[in-house]
Structure 1
Amino acid sequence: MSQEQYDVVVIGAGAVGENVADRAVAGGLRTVIVEAELVGGECSYWACMPSKALLRSAAAVRAARAVDGARQAVTGDVDVTAVLHRRDAITHDWSDDSQVQWLESAGIDLLRGHAALTGGRRVRVRRPDGTDVDLTARHAVVVATGSAALLPDIPGLAGIHPWTSRDATSARSAPASLAIVGGGVVAAEMATAYAGFGTAVTMIVRSRLLGAMEPFAADLVTASLEAAGVDIRTGVEVVRAEREEGSDAVLHLSDGTRVAAAEVLVATGRTPRTSDLGLDAVGLAPGDWLDVDDTMLVRGTDWLYAVGDVTGRALLTHQGKYQARAAGDVIAARAAGATVDDAPWGAHVATADHAAVPQVTFTDPEIASVGLTARAAEDAGIRVRVLDYDLAAVAGASVHADDYRGTARAVVDADRGVLVGATFAGPDVGELLHAATIAVVAEVPLRRLWHAVPAYPTVSEVWLRWLETAGRATA
């Protein structure tokens, strides 16, 4: 067994692990990153990038058909084979060669294999050839192993070999029919993608679609999916599943009905990848989310950090990378004995996780949101003022599409006169989101936002309409 010593050991070479390693190296720390699968991780090969590649082609066709003059040029349907080829190109055919080259250029060592903690600052890596390497970290070990699809304990479900999100984004062809169990972001995006391929899609949703979002946005997506032929069953659950060899899977529902489909996608949540990390060796419970402070230090330790999905704070790649930047910088600062800026919104904390998380859901229409919904703000004790505006009434929308449909909501803290949340639902609204994110993070008073003049004619003019609705004198 060989032994190595580093300043920092990072477990998990996804986008989040890469970022924390990069910041640690930039801070002068010798760093190794350990990966059991592909360097680049879930986002690059099975989540963000391939899923958006599957969605983009049909979205482009819909956008062309929404504009007279372009509509006439669209003479066919989406070419599914070409979409899958483009997805393969975006994932580099599941080769991580370019990511490995980036690690080398950044001065980050790579060790392939499965890592597990064996004690304080100690990690054992089982390499693919079966040999072990013991690593010791002088300063920090960082867990960036992400999350995996949660498979609910439903009789017969495992036996039908359902798809997880990985299977849906890496499929080699579009099935004739697809049943989706779940109503969150993954479920809604994959329903949008596969309906665009001509697959007959049925969704089984326990409560309502996109239940964590503003209801108006979820309603627009629901109506769009139904118009695309998706059968959405709400208020029901799967109670039993079965499949005979060579036939469709059959899902028995709680209302006594059943759904048959060639494939079943289970998208009911995520679970942390911590069950086989040796957490018990350092007094932590295997399989649990890792509880961290805002510097991403695991509570009860002074050397173990966790970033990304594994913390359960905000299961989004961009938010994990934000956490990684804070963690890498604070590890370097602590190693050097430098001042740690851990006050809210400081250089070494991930404060935005609590109230300013941005997210774009690539459904039809897109949903872009940041901060609190109106309900969440009220639950937090904020005296809320809601500003709703029909995006179709903005001049830029009439130029963008002939039948533009969308709504924008601003959630305002009425006592402080600042934005605490925003949701946009409409074509291409993801590009509107960062302005709202800046306003929420910076707590820019509405009276000052009045002087941020939106260009004409763009859909961003909704900001002016919000402020006019609020009333300049009372903003």
Structure 2
Amino acid sequence: MTAREYDLIVIGAGAVGENVADRVVQGGLSVLIVEDELVGGECSYWACMPSKALLRSAASLRAARAVDGARQAITGELDVAGVLRRRTKVTHDWDDASQVKWLGKAGIELLRGHAEFTGERELRVTGDDGSVTELTARHAVAVSTGSLPLLPDIPGLRDIEPWTSRDATSAREVPASLAILGGGVVGAEMATAYAGFGTEVTLIARSGLLTREEPFAGELVKESLEAMGATVLTGVDVTAAARDDHGATLTLSDGRTIVAEQVLVAVGRTPRTGDLGVEAIGLTPGEWLETDDTLRVNGFDWLYAVGDVNHRALLTHQGKYQARAAGDVIAARAKGTAVDDAPWGAHVATADHRHVPQVTFTDPEVASVGLTEAAARKAGYDIRVLDYDLSWVAGASTLSDDYRGTARAIVDEKRGVLVGATFVGQDVVELLHSATVAIVGEVPLDRLWHAVPSYPTLSEVWLRWLEAYGRPSAG
């Protein structure tokens, strides 16, 4: 057994943990990062990157078929084997050598193994070979272990060994039929991907599709999935599951049964804190680690939780944002600098409350930031809702012969600024950051009149929103 000491120890070498470590190293401190799987984490190998690779090829084919002159050139069908090859290339065939190399260049030490708390600022790491390393953090420990798929308590579900999101994004073969439980981002994206492969998809979404978005988002995605041949069932629960030689059978609350070769469960996430030994420091295993805006765990002066594990915003880009904030704060506090007095003192994680941007890579894409109409009204804002049919924007006609899409802006009437925006349609993802800047920066609508959108692009929707609103009066 060996013993080692560092200024900061980070548990979890995913995108979030890497960014915490990098920021603190840049602040002049020593950092060790502990990882029991692949350096690069969920996003690189089982989530963001492989899922988008699986979606892209069929989306490109559909886009070409929607344009006269291009559709005539298409003589074949989607090469599913080619899609899977490209996905595997994107994940580097689940090899993290390049990520490990980056850690070395960044000055971050890596220890492979499973970490458990043994006391305040103290950890024990057990390697795959049984080796044990005792670690002490001089200043802080940052937990960046992410989250795990939630498996609901449905009789027989565990016995049929359903897929989780990891299985769906790393599959080497495509099933003939797939039943998906859950109508959130993962469920909607994987329904889109597998329907594009020609798989017979049944999506079971009890409360509807993408219910955290504006209602029209789920409606347009549902219509698109059904046009691809998928079946979307809402208002029903799965009450039992079983498997035999014919596949998996799901019994629904209305008495119907669904038979599929494979079942994907995508109903939510749970914190990855169950096996970290957090009971040794007075916390409860399996619970989210709640933090303040500096990402310090409530009740501790040395423990930080960054990314999914704190349940603030379960998105990679938001986790990396938190990581930058946490890294700067840890470095400042280690040097005895008051966070508010440090040059980076204002950079604490406040943009993961109401200003969170998110993209769902369905077809059509759904891109949103800030509050929905319902959320804004619930929060007590005096709002005006601006809806615009994106097919009326000149740029849309250059993309597709039959463009369908909607854009909604939520205006805080009291301040004359946007507090929410949602775009649904082909290629809307690149509209999102302009909305994020406008909302986070609280840019007055009367100034947005001078941010002239290029013609003919989808960005012209900004002008159409302003025209619908009418020029705000001065003051």
The verdict on a shared fold, with TM-score over 0.5 as the criterion, is yes
Q: Distance in 1 between matches of 2:42 and 2:27?
A: 26
Structure 1 residues 349-406: Cα deviation after superposition (integer angstroms, max 9, x where no partner): 1100111100110001000000110100111111111000000001111112111110
Whether contact under 8 Å (2:205, 2:235) holds in the other structure is yes
The runs of at least 4 consecutive aligned structure 1 residues that moved more than 6 Å come to: none
Shift of 1:45: 0.4
The corresponding residue for 1:28 is 28
Q: 1:247 to 1:385 in 2, by over 3 A?
A: same
Q: Distance in 2 between matches of 1:210 and 1:364?
A: 13
Whether contact under 8 Å (2:416, 2:472) holds in the other structure is no
- 2:40 pairs with 1:67: no
The corresponding residue for 2:161 is 161
Q: Distance in 2 between matches of 1:75 and 1:299?
A: 60
Whether contact under 8 Å (1:342, 1:349) holds in the other structure is no
Q: 1:342 to 1:262 in 2, by over 3 A?
A: farther
Structure 1 residues 210-246: Cα deviation after superposition (integer angstroms, max 9, x where no partner): 11110011111010001111111100011000011x3
- 2:460 pairs with 1:461: yes
Shift of 1:84: 0.1
SS in 2 for 1:352: coil
Q: Distance in 1 between matches of 2:302 and 2:397?
A: 55
- 2:388 pairs with 1:397: no
- Where in structure 2 are the equivalents of 1:46-445 lying within 5 Å? 46-244=46-244, 246-341=245-340, 347-445=346-444
Shift of 1:347: 3.3
Q: Distance in 2 between matches of 1:360 and 1:50?
A: 15
Whether contact under 8 Å (1:342, 1:348) holds in the other structure is no
Letter in 1 for 2:20: V
Q: Distance in 1 between matches of 2:143 and 2:354?
A: 24
Q: 1:38 to 1:352 in 2, by over 3 A?
A: same
Q: Distance in 1 between matches of 2:452 and 2:395?
A: 14
Q: Distance in 2 between matches of 1:193 and 1:80?
A: 11
Whether contact under 8 Å (2:326, 2:348) holds in the other structure is yes
Structure 1 residues 122-141: Cα deviation after superposition (integer angstroms, max 9, x where no partner): 11101111121011001100
Whether contact under 8 Å (2:453, 2:460) holds in the other structure is yes
Q: Distance in 2 between matches of 1:469 and 1:192?
A: 34
Whether contact under 8 Å (1:340, 1:348) holds in the other structure is no
Q: Distance in 1 between matches of 2:204 and 2:348?
A: 39
Whether contact under 8 Å (2:329, 2:345) holds in the other structure is no
Aligned sequence identity (%):
72
Q: Distance in 2 between matches of 1:62 and 1:213?
A: 24
Shift of 1:281: 0.8
Shift of 1:70: 1.3
Q: Distance in 2 between matches of 1:125 and 1:173?
A: 36
RMSD: 1.2
Whether contact under 8 Å (2:209, 2:222) holds in the other structure is yes
Q: Distance in 1 between matches of 2:194 and 2:447?
A: 44
Q: Distance in 2 between matches of 1:474 and 1:404?
A: 35
SS in 2 for 1:341: helix
Structure 1 residues 18-40: Cα deviation after superposition (integer angstroms, max 9, x where no partner): 00000010000100000000000
Letter in 1 for 2:181: V
Shift of 1:71: 1.3
Structure 1 residues 56-83: Cα deviation after superposition (integer angstroms, max 9, x where no partner): 0001111111111111111111100000
334-343 vs 56-65, which moves further: 334-343
Q: Distance in 2 between matches of 1:359 and 1:167?
A: 23
SS in 1 for 2:148: strand
Q: 1:144 to 1:161 in 2, by over 3 A?
A: same
Shift of 1:342: 9.0
Whether contact under 8 Å (2:411, 2:417) holds in the other structure is yes
SS in 2 for 1:354: coil
Q: Distance in 1 between matches of 2:201 and 2:351?
A: 36
Shift of 1:348: 3.3
Q: Distance in 1 between matches of 2:218 and 2:182?
A: 14
Q: 1:342 to 1:315 in 2, by over 3 A?
A: farther
- Where in structure 2 are the equivalents of 1:7-26 lying within 5 Å? 7-26=7-26
Which segments of 5 or more consecutive residues in structure 2 lack a partner in the other structure?
Answer: none
Q: Distance in 2 between matches of 1:172 and 1:463?
A: 43
Whether contact under 8 Å (1:295, 1:342) holds in the other structure is no
Shift of 1:336: 1.1
SS in 2 for 1:37: coil
Whether contact under 8 Å (1:341, 1:348) holds in the other structure is no
Letter in 1 for 2:137: A
State the number of aligned residues: 473
Structure 1 residues 139-163: Cα deviation after superposition (integer angstroms, max 9, x where no partner): 1000000000000010000010100
SS in 1 for 2:464: helix
Whether contact under 8 Å (1:184, 1:267) holds in the other structure is yes
Whether contact under 8 Å (1:49, 1:91) holds in the other structure is yes
Whether contact under 8 Å (1:367, 1:426) holds in the other structure is yes
Whether contact under 8 Å (1:384, 1:414) holds in the other structure is yes
Whether contact under 8 Å (2:445, 2:472) holds in the other structure is no
Shift of 1:194: 0.1
Q: Distance in 2 between matches of 1:360 and 1:74?
A: 29
Shift of 1:474: 4.4
Whether contact under 8 Å (1:341, 1:349) holds in the other structure is no
